[in-house]
Amino acid sequence: MILFTPHQKQTDNYVWIRKSSVKKEDILAVLSDIKRKQGEDNATLILLWDGLAAHKAKVVQAFVVANRNWLTVHRFPAYAPELNPQEYQWSSLKRKDLGNYCPETMDDLERRARNGIRRMRKDGALLKGFLKKSGLWSAKELGEGQ
């Protein structure tokens, strides 16, 4: 998840790696984790996500409604990965950090992926580039233009 704080013009990311398919319980755990982290800052969050079935589960929707004081959710249109900044992050990770890499174990793969994500986290310009490439934010909104 790529985060952007408009007032400070800063980027960051949160990462949860699953070794199985994502289920509604996983989404609830992630949302609860975000709530805990965001609660420390009393920040509001606009979450953009795709049409994953777990995102549409009744229990997940109930969580969103119950937390609408700090959480707003918008769904990306179907078949529009070019609008999703996260797709650009995964593309970068797959090409730069995981390209031609053949791990011996799933733990090796996870370690390599986490190292790549840490590399990207340190490069705010790269994360802003993913946001800008999606076309949902302008350079000026990202603090890059006058």
95 domain residue, yes or no: yes
Residue 144 lies in a domain: no
Give the relative orientation of helices 124-133 and 106-121 as an angle to the nearest 10 degrees: 90
* CA-closest candidate to residue 127, choices 95, 96, 92: 92
Cα–Cα–Cα angle for 82, 88, 94, nearest 5°?
130
How many domains in the chain?
A: 1
Residue 143 belongs to some domain of the structure: no
Note whether residue 7 is domain-resident: yes
pLDDT tens string, the chain, 146 residues long: the values are 777 777 777 788 878 888 788 899 999 998 998 888 776 566 778 888 888 899 999 999 999 999 988 888 888 887 888 888 889 999 999 999 999 999 999 999 999 999 999 999 888 889 889 989 988 888 888 887 65
42-76 pLDDT, tens digit per residue, is 677 888 888 889 999 999 999 999 998 888 888 88
CATH number at residue 58: 3.30.420.10
Name the H helices within 69-137: 85-92, 106-121, 124-133
Q: Is residue 98 part of a domain?
A: yes
In a domain, 79, yes or no: yes
Per the structure, the complete domain to which residue 77 belongs is given by 2-133
